[in-house]
Amino acid sequence: MSDAAQQLAGSTATGDNKPFAAQLSNVYLSILALFCFKLFVKISLNLLTYFYIVRGNRKEAARISAEFYDYAQQRGSWTDRSPLHDAASQGRLLALRTLIVQGHDVNSVTIDQVTPLHEACLGDHAPCARALVDAGADVNASTVDGATPLWNACAVGSVACTEVLLENGARAQSLPHQPSPIHEATSKGHFGCMEVLLTWGTDVDMDIPHLGTPLYTACVCQELECARKLLREGANVQKGKSLDSPLHAAAEKDCTAMVKLLLDFGADINARDGECRRPVEVAPPSSLTEGFLLLYEAMPRLLSQLCRQCIRTCVGQDRLHLLCHLPLPSRIRSFLQYQ
Ligand SMILES: *[C@@H]1O[C@H](CO)[C@@H](O)[C@H](O)[C@H]1NC(C)=O
C-alpha cells in the first residue's frame, strides 16, 4: 500500500518536472512580459491621476496616486508613512507641493502619530514645513511620545522651522505630559531656537519636575551661552531642580565659567541642596571650581554688583526688556543688562 503510494508520488514528481523544465526556457520571456505589464499599469495610473486633477476630482486623484506609489491604504484614520512623509523628510519641496495638489491628506499620521510636518521639522526643511502649514497641517500635532513639530525643530536646532511654527500659532510651551522644546534646545546648545522660543513667550523659568528649569538644564549640560541668555532674560538664578540650585549643578560639573556667571547674576553661594550641602561641597575635591568658590567666599562682594542685582530685582522679570529705554548713560544701561 505504502509502496504504491510512493510510486505514485514519484511518478507525479517526475511528471511535474518535465513541464517545469520546459517552462524554464521561457522564464526570461515571462519576466520581461511581467515587467512590461507593470510598467503599463503604472503609466496608465499616472495618466489617470492627471486626468482627474484636470477634471478637479482630487479625492479620486489621491486614491489613484496612492496606488501608483504602492502604499497600502489602511483602515481608519492613519496610514503608515505616506509619500508626503517621504517627501517632507527628504526636503523635496516640488514633490511635496505636487502631492498636496493631488489631494494627499497633510495630516495623515503613521502608526506612531508622526505627521509629515514632524518629518519636515526633523530634517530642518523650513520651506516644506511652510508648504505643509499653508495647506492646513496641524502645528500642535503630537506623536505617541508627545513630541510636537516644535520639539523636533528644537531638537535638531532648526531656527527657521521654529519660526515658521510659532508664526503659525504653534504652542510655544509644551503641555505637562509632553517633552519641552525649550529644555531640548537648551540641553543641546541650540541658542537660536531658545532665543526664538523666549521671544514667543515661553516661560524662562518653566519648571519640569524631572528636569528642573531651563537654566538648570543649561548648567547640567554646560551650555554657557544659553545660560547667559536665560539669565539676561531674567531667569531666576536660584531656581533649579527641587532643592538643587543651578550653582550646585555647575559646581558639580566643575564648570568654573558657569559658576562665575551664576555668581555675577547673584547666585547664593550658601544655598543648600536636598542633602543640605553647599555648592562648594559638591564641587570635585581640589578642583579649580572648589578653589574659585573658596576664594569667592573669602572676598567681599563688589558694591557695583550688589547695586545691579538690587536694581534688576526692583525692575522685575517682566519689565527687564524695558531697561534699554531707561534715560541713563549708555554705559550704565549696558552694565544693567550685563552687556
Ligand atoms: C495650538 O495651540 C495653541 C495653544 O493651545 C492655540 O492657541 C492654537 O490655536 C493652536 N493652534 C492650532 C492650529 O490648533
* Residue of 134, 148, 171 with the most ligand 1 atoms within 8 Å of its CB, for mutation: 171
Q: Report the residue count for the chain.
A: 339
Do residues 56 and 132 share a domain?
Answer: yes
Q: How confident is the model at residue 96, as a pLDDT?
A: 95
Pocket test for ligand 1, best of 107, 133, 140 (most atoms within 8 A of CB): 140
Residue 87 inside a domain? The answer is yes
169 lines ligand 1 (CB under 6 A): yes
Domain that holds residue 127: 48-68+81-170
How much is the pLDDT for 31?
Answer: 86
Q: Is the CB of 140 under 6 A from ligand 1?
A: yes
Phi first, then psi, for residue 255 (nearest 5°) are: -105, 90
Cα(39)–Cα(55) distance, integer angstroms: 24
276, part of any domain = yes
Distance CA 206, CA 251 (A): 22
Expressed in angstroms and rounded, the spacing between residue 202 Cα and the centre of ligand 1 is 14
- 335 and 284: one domain? no
How many other CB atoms are there within 10 angstroms of residue 309's CB atom? 15
Ligand 1 atom, smallest distance to 139 CA: 13
Based on the fold, state whether residues 295 and 316 are members of the same structural domain: no
Cell of 113: 502619530
**Which of 120, 152, 170 is the last residue in one of the domains?**
170
Kindly state if the Cβ of 165 falls inside 6 Å of ligand 1: no
Cα–Cα distance measured from residue 242 to residue 248, given in angstroms and rounded to the nearest whole number: 12
- Residue 12 domain-assigned? no
Do 155 and 215 lie in one domain? The reply is no
Q: Is residue 4 part of a domain?
A: no
57 and 166 belong to one structural domain: yes
Is 3 among the domain residues? no
**Per-residue model confidence as pLDDT tens for the chain (339 residues):** 445 444 444 444 444 555 666 666 678 888 888 888 888 888 888 777 766 665 656 666 666 666 555 544 443 334 578 899 999 999 999 999 999 999 999 999 998 999 999 999 999 999 999 999 999 999 999 999 999 999 999 999 999 999 999 999 999 999 988 999 999 999 999 999 999 999 999 999 999 999 999 999 999 999 999 999 999 998 999 999 989 999 999 999 999 999 999 999 999 999 999 999 999 999 999 999 999 999 999 988 889 999 999 999 999 888 888 888 989 999 999 999 888
Is residue 156 in a domain? yes
- Give the integer Cα–Cα distance in Å for 62 and 108: 13
The DSSP 8-state label assigned to residue 98 in this structure reads: H
Nearest residue (CA) to ligand 1, atom 4: 171
Range 282-289, long-range pairs (CB < 8 A, 24+ positions): 282/248, 282/251, 282/252, 283/251, 283/252, 283/254, 284/252, 284/254, 287/254, 288/254, 288/256, 289/250, 289/251, 289/254, 289/255, 289/256, 289/259
Residue 260, all three cell numbers: 562665575
Ligand 1: nearest atom to the Cα of 138: 13
Q: Pick from 81, 41, 88: which is nearest to 64 by CA?
A: 41
Question: 62-112, pLDDT tens digit by residue?
Answer: 666 665 555 444 433 345 788 999 999 999 999 999 999 999 999 999 989
Tell whether 295 and 328 lie within a shared domain.
Answer: no
Residues 133 and 243 reside in one and the same domain: no
Q: Look at residue 12 in the predicted model and tell me its pLDDT.
A: 45
Domain count, the chain: 3
Let me know whether 313 and 327 are in one domain: yes
- Do 199 and 229 touch, CB atoms closer than 8 A? no
Task: State whether 153 and 222 are in the same domain.
Answer: no
Q: Are 108 and 152 in contact (CB under 8 A)?
A: no
Residue 260, domain CATH: 1.25.40.20
C-alpha 317/C-alpha 328 separation (Å) is 19
Q: From the CA of 141, how far away is ligand 1's center (Å)? A: 10
Q: Which atom of ligand 1 is nearest to the CA of 168?
A: 13
The answer to whether residue 238 sits within a structural domain is yes
**Residues 315, 290 share a domain:** no
> Same domain, yes or no, for 238 and 295?
yes
134 with 230, same domain?
no
Compute the distance from residue 53 Cα to the ligand 1 centre, in Å.
32
Domain-located, residue 42: no
